[in-house]
Amino acid sequence: MPSQSNTQELKNIGYELFIAAISLLSIVNLVLVAVFGSSTSLATVLYIMNGIMLPIFLGDFVYRLITAEDRGRYFWRKWGWADLLSSLPLAQVKILRLFRLFRVFRLLREVGPRNLLHELITNRARNALLTVAFLVMCLLEFGSLGVLLAERRAADANITDAGGALWWVYVTITTVGYGDRYPVTNAGRLVGVLVMTAGVGLFGTLSGFLAQAFLSPPKAAPAAAEVSDDPKERVAALLRQIEEHEQAATELRKQLNEVITAL
């Protein structure tokens, strides 16, 4: 069972997994930049995607700072300073995003796999938006890298730079398809098929999430119990409430004793 300080530090599980996923993706991008070379169109795609991630990391730092009960403790002892530095557009400090991964994995390990799975299943609609956002980022990045790799040796290729590749992937996954840029090789067309198929699925999921959020009726508040004018019935109702509170207090004491024993 997670300690009280760790429970307060842990945000929504879906949100924590989203931050961990984009942290891991940004670290993978550092490795890919070293593999591709820093002056190629492939590296430019990675730089652009890292630029998209920066506001997310900065917003995560501000969110954790605002919601922390002890802001000084979060900043100095819970690696808040590393969160801030890793949000800056400096290549030398991006490796500090590893601390985000360590924190998320530590907190989720204390939650336990059973509670983690239950949370994801119970709140799957709420987590759908974050999942779609991360998958769209992955599709933008790896779709652009894939089409650039496939088209780079074609003499009549019209997708040859990072901007053109990102533009083509975005209009493809949104099923707009202007036709101003298109792959000319078989490998590039295969990338296009994968991007189109994934785009239809992702935006279909997003449309379903938005429809549920805006069109589903609000949950009705439980009706208030009617208060009887009969003094005897009111006394009986109060006695029942007292009994229920005593049962709840007994259960709470039992849980506290289990926590103290576990410590």
**CA–CA distance, 85 with 102 (Å, rounded to integer):** 16
CA-based nearest residue to 203, from 164, 172, 181: 172
- Single-letter code of the amino acid located at 195: V
Return the number of other C-beta atoms located less than 10 Å from residue 51's C-beta. 10
- pTM of the complete model: 0.70
The token pair at 236 is 């009986």
pLDDT score, position 226: 52
Between 128 and 222, residue with greater pLDDT: 128
Determine whether 204 is exposed, middle or buried from the number of CB atoms within 10 Å of its CB (0-12, 13-18, 19+).
exposed
Q: pLDDT of 100-134, one tens digit each?
A: 778 777 777 776 777 777 777 777 766 778 888 89
**CA–CA distance, 42 with 163 (Å, rounded to integer):** 10
Polymer length in residues for the chain: 263
pLDDT at 222 over 70: no
Q: pLDDT of 50-66, one tens digit each?
A: 999 999 999 988 988 88
Q: 100's torsion region: left (phi>0), alpha (psi -120 to 50) or beta? A: alpha
- Domain boundary assignment for the chain: 1-122, 127-216, 227-263
Q: pLDDT of 9-58, one tens digit each?
A: 566 778 888 888 898 898 899 889 888 887 789 999 999 999 999 999 99
Return the number of other C-beta atoms located less than 10 Å from residue 61's C-beta. 20
Q: pLDDT of 140-197, one tens digit each?
A: 999 999 999 999 888 888 998 999 999 999 999 888 878 888 899 999 999 999 999 9
Q: pLDDT of 61-85, one tens digit each?
A: 898 888 888 888 888 877 788 888 8
pLDDT at 234 over 80: no
**CA–CA distance, 175 with 168 (Å, rounded to integer):** 11
Q: Does domain 127-216 have CATH number 3.30.1540.10?
A: no
